[in-house]
Structure 1
Amino acid sequence: MGPEANHPVRTTEKSLAVVEHLDETDGARIKDLEAELDMTKGAIHNHLSTLREHGYVVKEGEEYRLSFEFLTLGGRVRSRTPLYEFGRAKADQLAADTDMLANLMIEEDGRGVYLYQARGDYAVNLDTHVGYRIPLHNIAIGKAILAYLPDERVDEIVDRWGLPAATEKTITDREALSEQLETVRERGYATEHGERTESLACIGAPVRVDGELLGAISISAPTHRLGTDGFDEEIIGEVQSTANELALDIKYK
């Protein structure tokens, strides 16, 4: 959820509750929604009918589900983002060159959002996907973003979302995170070794144009492919050079 609204519209909140429940359940009948939501059957039907009229919900038998209209809206938003527009080809090439999973990410509302993923020949299957939102503190691409945000913005993000542990290697201490972000700024890239997913390693680099942070690019692979004692310098260089090339493409578009 985003910041609290000054004057929330309850009707809108109820419609969004219906949408979110349909998303979580991949479709539901009115009686299912009635059992889960604090709304009457008639009110639920009215919200569903309105959403259906505007193309956001479809009905199949007695079950309602979200329509692809949300994909249309999300696709439009993504296509207007320079990091995606110019970054797709770069991520594709990085994935092909390294045989790994390449990712593009932006920060929105204090979390990372995957804009695009490209798969090399040996890319692993993960729980992430385009549109997936994720904490920024426990993955290389997220730390590459955090390192180049203003300190006060980082504090706001940590205050709001905390530093939850995903594995025993996750950074959960603010001071430790600050020290690592300083290291990221000194090196120009971030690394992560099992901090979010055990046996997975990542290398991420920020994409910045004239000092403005647009997002980051990364690769992910099993630890044995990126190294357990130290990350492969050649692969680090590929990630950094790809980020730099992407920044130049955006700047001189």
Structure 2
Amino acid sequence: MTDQVPVRAAKTSLEIINKVRELEGAGVSELANELDKPTSTVHDHLRTLESEEYLIKSDSKYYVGTQFLDLGEHARSRHKMYTIARQEVDELATQTGEHTNLMIEEHGRGVFLYKSKGPDTVQLDTHAGMRVPLQTTAMGKSILAFRPSEEVDEIINRHGLPQLTEKTITDRDELYDELDEIQKRGYAYADEERVKGMRSVAAPITNDKGRSVAAIGVTGPKRRLRGQRLREDVPDLILSSANVIEVNPSHS
């Protein structure tokens, strides 16, 4: 049984870090109440995390430290897809004037690996490292559409289909119907499924076996992403960018 103690302790530390991030700073008592753990336990973990420079303390509250910035940038820079696709994401943002993102799948969630802002962008909550349910974004759906159904089922069984807006897909059969359409069309849409008032278009980046390894997408306000721009212009640009990434010799 003793070999389980370090694992449990590590899990507690990670829960505390995530809760500090979620609350944008918190004190010992608040964290103990939120996590339903003894105050003494939370205090010990916080002191350890502070001494190791993963958390900082200010005015009786703990905050996530910049140590994670170093770790996150290391994780991103070693990811081959980031190196290959960054220039295409930047060019697509310039061409469309909108938010352009690169997403990968990790542990069954969509992870924003890189983001570029065009000259006409509105404020969005997305940032590098942000994790979202795959079925709530065009990029996530395009990744799922080019994965085996068994893998999609595993992801749904693990994470469910959480609802973020009234338009989020929460039904498994409805999702599979849409994934079939995405396979035929080659790209995906999301219409206010994660953020109200925003639409997205995305295409998968696939390997030589046709399996999605990432996705590239454009997000903008409904009033700008509509008509021919939504149906033809932006999808054509995204498909072209995805193709450039796929034929890069480093991709495979």
TM-score by length of 2: 0.88
The answer to whether the Cα contact below 8 Å between 2:100 and 2:216 also exists between their aligned partners in 1 is yes
Aligned to 2:219, the other structure's residue is in SS state strand
| Equivalent residue runs for 1:50-199 within 5 Å | 50-199=48-197
Per the TM alignment, residue 235 of structure 1 is displaced from its structure 2 partner at its CA by 1.7
In structure 2, the CA distance between the partners of 1:67 and 1:225, relative to structure 1 (3 Å rule), is same
Structure-1 residue corresponding to 2:219: 220
> Cα deviations across residues 179-218 of structure 1 (Å, max 9, x unaligned)?
2111111121111222333332111011112124221000
Within 2, Cα distance between the matches of 1:234 and 1:83?
Answer: 25
Aligned length: 248
The answer to whether the Cα contact below 8 Å between 1:82 and 1:250 also exists between their aligned partners in 2 is no
Per the TM alignment, residue 41 of structure 1 is displaced from its structure 2 partner at its CA by 4.0
Q: Structure 2: any 5+ residue segments left out of the alignment?
A: none
Identify which range, 92-101 or 198-207, moves more after superposition. 198-207
- Among 198, 201, 204, the alignment partner of 1:200 is 198
Per the TM alignment, residue 140 of structure 1 is displaced from its structure 2 partner at its CA by 1.0
Q: Specify the code of the residue in structure 2 equivalent to 1:215.
A: A
Within 1, Cα distance between the matches of 2:223 and 2:33?
Answer: 48
The answer to whether the Cα contact below 8 Å between 2:207 and 2:251 also exists between their aligned partners in 1 is no
Structure-1 residue corresponding to 2:17: 19
Q: Structure 1: any 5+ residue segments left out of the alignment?
A: 1-6
Q: Specify the code of the residue in structure 1 equivalent to 2:47.
A: S
Within 1, Cα distance between the matches of 2:62 and 2:169?
Answer: 41
Please report the RMSD computed on the Cα atoms of aligned residues, expressed in angstroms.
Answer: 2.3
Q: Specify the code of the residue in structure 2 equivalent to 1:227.
A: R
The answer to whether the Cα contact below 8 Å between 2:84 and 2:248 also exists between their aligned partners in 1 is yes
- Among 43, 46, 49, the alignment partner of 1:45 is 43
In structure 2, the CA distance between the partners of 1:219 and 1:31, relative to structure 1 (3 Å rule), is same
Per the TM alignment, residue 13 of structure 1 is displaced from its structure 2 partner at its CA by 2.3
> Cα deviations across residues 201-244 of structure 1 (Å, max 9, x unaligned)?
11101111212422100001112222158833122110001011
Q: Specify the code of the residue in structure 2 equivalent to 1:222.
A: P
> Cα deviations across residues 117-151 of structure 1 (Å, max 9, x unaligned)?
11111112222222111111132111110001111
Within 2, Cα distance between the matches of 1:252 and 1:29?
Answer: 45
The answer to whether the Cα contact below 8 Å between 1:209 and 1:251 also exists between their aligned partners in 2 is no
Within 1, Cα distance between the matches of 2:145 and 2:223?
Answer: 26
Within 1, Cα distance between the matches of 2:214 and 2:129?
Answer: 14
> Cα deviations across residues 11-59 of structure 1 (Å, max 9, x unaligned)?
2222223222221222233343344444444433322222122221223
Identify which range, 149-158 or 161-170, moves more after superposition. 161-170
Q: Specify the code of the residue in structure 2 equivalent to 1:33.
A: L
In structure 2, the CA distance between the partners of 1:167 and 1:21, relative to structure 1 (3 Å rule), is closer
The answer to whether the Cα contact below 8 Å between 2:103 and 2:215 also exists between their aligned partners in 1 is yes
